[in-house]
Structure 1
Amino acid sequence: MAQQLALSVDFGSGFTDAWSKIAKFIPQFIAFLAILVIGWIVAKAIAKVLDRVLRKVGSERVAERAGMARHLSGSNYDMTGIICKIVYYAILLMVLQLAFGVFGPNPISVMIHSIVAWLPRGIVAVAIVVVAMAIANGVRDIVRNALAGASYGRTVATIAWAFIVALGVIAALGQAGIATAITGPVLIAALATIAGVLVVGVGGGLILPMRQRWERWLDHAEQESAKLRGSAYQAGRADVLANQPARPTTQAAPGTTPPPPPGIDPGRPGDRPS
Structure 2
Amino acid sequence: MNPTLQVTLGALAYIGLKILACAAILVIGWIIAKVIGTLVDKGLAKVRFNHLAQRTGMDRWTGRYTPSGLVGMVVYYALLLFTFQLAFSVFGPNPISNLIDDVIAWLPRLIVACVIIVVAVAIANAVFNVISNALSHFSYGRTVGRIAQVAIIALGAIAALNQAGIATTITTPVLVAILATISGILIVGVGGGLIGPMRSRWERALGRIEEESTRVSAHLKARAAEQETAAALTKARGDTMVQPKYPGETPQDVKPGTKVTAEEAADRLTKKATALRNDMKPGPEL
Q: Which residue of structure 2 lines up, in the alignment, with residue 37 of structure 1?
A: 27
Further displaced range: 26-35 or 215-224: 26-35
| Alpha-carbon distance in structure 2 between the residues aligned to 1:239 and 1:36 | 72
Name structure 2 gaps, 5 residues minimum. Answer: 241-254, 274-286
From 214, 233, 238, give the equivalent of 1:247.
Answer: 238
| Alpha-carbon distance in structure 2 between the residues aligned to 1:96 and 1:220 | 64
Q: 1:53: how far off?
A: 4.5
Preserved contact between residue 66 and residue 131 of structure 1 (Cα < 8 Å): no
Q: Which residue of structure 2 lines up, in the alignment, with residue 261 of structure 1?
A: 263
Q: 1:90: how far off?
A: 0.8
Preserved contact between residue 62 and residue 134 of structure 1 (Cα < 8 Å): no
Q: Which residue of structure 1 lines up, in the alignment, with residue 177 of structure 2?
A: 189
Preserved contact between residue 128 and residue 149 of structure 2 (Cα < 8 Å): yes
| Alpha-carbon distance in structure 2 between the residues aligned to 1:71 and 1:233 | 44
Preserved contact between residue 47 and residue 84 of structure 1 (Cα < 8 Å): yes
From 91, 94, 109, give the equivalent of 1:106.
Answer: 94
Preserved contact between residue 247 and residue 262 of structure 1 (Cα < 8 Å): no
From 83, 86, 91, give the equivalent of 1:95.
Answer: 83
From 9, 14, 25, give the equivalent of 1:19.
Answer: 9
| Alpha-carbon distance in structure 1 between the residues aligned to 2:117 and 2:230 | 46
Preserved contact between residue 42 and residue 68 of structure 2 (Cα < 8 Å): no
1:80-105 deviation digits (Å, cap 9, x = unpaired): 11011011111111111110100112
Further displaced range: 228-237 or 81-90: 228-237
| Alpha-carbon distance in structure 1 between the residues aligned to 2:182 and 2:40 | 44
| Alpha-carbon distance in structure 2 between the residues aligned to 1:184 and 1:263 | 67
Q: 1:201: how far off?
A: 3.3
| Alpha-carbon distance in structure 2 between the residues aligned to 1:126 and 1:230 | 47
| Alpha-carbon distance in structure 2 between the residues aligned to 1:128 and 1:137 | 14
Preserved contact between residue 65 and residue 137 of structure 1 (Cα < 8 Å): no
Q: Which amino acid aligns with 1:146?
A: A
Q: Which residue of structure 2 lines up, in the alignment, with residue 216 of structure 1?
A: 204
From 213, 217, 221, give the equivalent of 1:229.
Answer: 217
| Alpha-carbon distance in structure 2 between the residues aligned to 1:56 and 1:128 | 24
TM-score, with structure 1 as normaliser: 0.78
Aligned pairs, number: 255
| Alpha-carbon distance in structure 1 between the residues aligned to 2:30 and 2:168 | 35
Q: 1:13: how far off?
A: 3.4
| Alpha-carbon distance in structure 1 between the residues aligned to 2:265 and 2:68 | 54
Preserved contact between residue 131 and residue 145 of structure 2 (Cα < 8 Å): yes
The 4+ residue runs of structure 1 with deviation greater than 6 A are: none
Report the secondary structure of 2:263's partner residue. Answer: coil
Change (3 A) 1:262 1:17: farther
Percent of matched pairs sharing the same residue: 47
Report the secondary structure of 1:259's partner residue. Answer: helix
TM-score, with structure 2 as normaliser: 0.75
Report the secondary structure of 1:100's partner residue. Answer: helix
Further displaced range: 83-92 or 150-159: 150-159
CA RMSD of aligned residues (A): 3.2
Change (3 A) 1:264 1:93: same
